[in-house]
Structure 1
Amino acid sequence: MTSYNPKDWISFIFHLSKADTFRKLIPMMLLIGIYSGVIGYLEIEYWHLPDNSPVKNISIMHGMLGFVISLLLAYRTNTAYDRWWEGRKLWGSLVNNSRNLSIKLSAMLQDEKDRNFFRKIIPGYASILHKHLNDRDTSLQLFDDLDLDIDHHKHKPNQVAKMMFQKINDLYVSKKITGDQLLILNTEVHSFTDICGACERIKNTPIPYSYSAFIKKFIFIYVLTLPFGYVFSLGYYVIPVVVFIFYVLASLELIAEEIEDPFGMDANDLPTKKIAENIKKHVEELI
């Protein structure tokens, strides 16, 4: 995730970052510019269309459809941001739940071996979840002194949660914790699985294909028809105008595409790796 100062206008305006949509759209902007120039040349130099030509009225269509496309893009962007923000709230809950579980275990456990197990496995769950959501292979050994025998063909976070609860149940069987304490700890471990499931729901449920494809086609056709009507009033200045309109509309769609999956490796995705590292730091301080 890109770190920035929201009050630094100069860097926003003149600096091209990795996440800037301008870089990605340069090839298409060049093609749109060439296309607009060809249409302008044909209408002005070749066809010699008069000012009262019906082609000039195409701009009326753009005025009516402009409102529609703005509503579609606003809804698209808001929906994508809601998914991004929900992902951030879920990982915030994972941080708090890891802290709460660590605080309770710190007070309940006296055996250093038991404390060391949870000191490693609680942040291990966050690390496994980060890699699971990024579709990465998980190491068989996350820490030097804690081996996690993970089956890569099965659900990895569930296996870590199972180990965690198995250890808690063993503590109850060996009378190191009471039945009431078992219920308290069970609630905390249960919340980890709830968070994992909610993250998977975001990850595995993209925006419907038909909706996303329609917006892209709508933007493309809308921009391709712009030069026909605006050449009459703008002349060859229609080239930068159409390119700029395409840049604005396509950028909104690109931004929505990037943030709708907040668990990837794009510049604006959530810093889940950093959050997992913070969980490890906090758990080690508590237990």
Structure 2
Amino acid sequence: MINYNPKEWFTFIFRVHKSDTVRQLMPMIISLSIYVALVAFLEIQVFNLGENSHLKNITILHGMLGFVISLLLVFRTNTAYERWWEGRKLWGSLTNTSRNLAMKINAVLPKDDELNRTFFKEHIVEYAFALKRHLRGHQRESEVFQSNVIIDHELHKPNHIAALMYTRLNDLYNQKIISGTQLLFLNEEFRAFTDICGACERIKNTPIPFSYSVFIKKFIFFYVMSLPFGYVFSLGYIAVPIVVFVFYVLASLEIIAEEIENPFGVDDNDLPLTMMSKNIQKHVGEIL
């Protein structure tokens, strides 16, 4: 995720960073510029179409379709941002749940029980890192506790770690180290782990419907490709930068929506899951 100062207007305007849509769209911008210039040349120089041509009336259609495409893109970007923001809220809940569980474990365990304290400290932290790797689709050995947290690579890693903590908690109850009331007291946080994991998986595994995404792309393409036929009559060769700018705005909105609709990836605008996992590691370590 990019950290920035939202008050620096001129920095945003004149700096091109690697996540800027200009970089991604540059080949299409160049191709579109050539296309619009060719259409302008044919209409003005070759066919010598004047103001009496019916093609000039196509701008009326563009005005109506522009309103429709604007509504579609507003809905598209709002839906993508809602998914991004929900993902951020879920990881905020994971941070709070990890803190609360660590504080409760710290309260119910005997002060001299270093073995169980270390177990829960490592596994609470490892749950966050395992969920991060699970959502990004790449699992490997623990990034934090290489020798202590042993996970079967064939298993669902977050569920496996939660199950290990559940088992240890039940063992503490059977050994009379914690009471039944304390067991219920701790259960809420363990349940929250699984709820958060399931909600994150729902966001990741449920993309925008294919037909909807394809329709928007086709709509933008045909809308932009038809623009020069009408605007060349009133703008001449100035239609080249105008049409390119319209395409840049429309296509950029679609690209931004595609990038943020899965907030758990590694794109520049995705959530900083590694940083949030390290914050959990720091806070749980301080408590336990």
Q: Name the TM-score class by shorter chain.
A: over 0.9
Which runs of structure 2 are paired with 1:66-215 in the superposition (5 Å)?
66-110=66-110, 111-139=113-141, 142-148=144-150, 150-215=151-216
Corresponding residue of 1:41: 41
Deviation at 1:18, TM superposition (A): 1.5
Corresponding residue of 2:54: 54
Provide structure 1 residue ranges, at least 5 long, that are not aligned to the other structure. Answer: none
Letter in 1 for 2:49: L
Letter in 2 for 1:159: H
Q: CA RMSD in A?
A: 0.9
Does structure 2 retain, via aligned residues, the 8 Å contact 1:59–1:230?
Answer: yes
Deviation at 1:192, TM superposition (A): 0.2
Letter in 2 for 1:92: G
Does structure 1 retain, via aligned residues, the 8 Å contact 2:130–2:139?
Answer: no
**Structure-1 separation of matches of 2:88 and 2:265:** 13
Matched, 1:257 2:244: no
**Structure-1 separation of matches of 2:142 and 2:83:** 31
Letter in 2 for 1:75: F
The 3-state SS of whatever aligns with 2:195 is helix
**Structure-2 separation of matches of 1:264 and 1:146:** 27
Name the CA shift for 1:141/1:212 in 2 (closer, same or farther; >3 Å).
closer
Which runs of structure 2 are paired with 1:237-276 in the superposition (5 Å)?
237-276=238-277
**Structure-2 separation of matches of 1:121 and 1:81:** 32
The 3-state SS of whatever aligns with 2:182 is helix
Corresponding residue of 2:15: 15
Letter in 1 for 2:186: L
Deviations 1:161-189 (A, max 9, x none): 00010110011011110001111111111
**Structure-2 separation of matches of 1:13 and 1:121:** 45
* Percent of residue pairs bearing the same amino acid type: 60
**Structure-2 separation of matches of 1:161 and 1:270:** 23
The 3-state SS of whatever aligns with 2:75 is helix
Letter in 2 for 1:113: L
Deviation at 1:52, TM superposition (A): 1.4
**Structure-2 separation of matches of 1:86 and 1:129:** 16
Does structure 2 retain, via aligned residues, the 8 Å contact 1:141–1:147?
Answer: no
**Structure-2 separation of matches of 1:279 and 1:177:** 25
Does structure 1 retain, via aligned residues, the 8 Å contact 2:224–2:246?
Answer: yes
**Structure-2 separation of matches of 1:107 and 1:169:** 17
Deviations 1:206-234 (A, max 9, x none): 00000000000000000000000000000
Deviation at 1:147, TM superposition (A): 2.8
Tell me the TM-score normalized by structure 1.
0.98
**Structure-2 separation of matches of 1:69 and 1:60:** 15
Letter in 1 for 2:77: T
**Structure-1 separation of matches of 2:145 and 2:153:** 17
**Structure-2 separation of matches of 1:177 and 1:119:** 17
**Structure-2 separation of matches of 1:240 and 1:275:** 43
Deviation at 1:144, TM superposition (A): 4.4
Corresponding residue of 2:219: 218
Aligned length: 286
Deviations 1:124-163 (A, max 9, x none): 0000000000011221574145132x22222111000000
Name the CA shift for 1:93/1:44 in 2 (closer, same or farther; >3 Å).
same
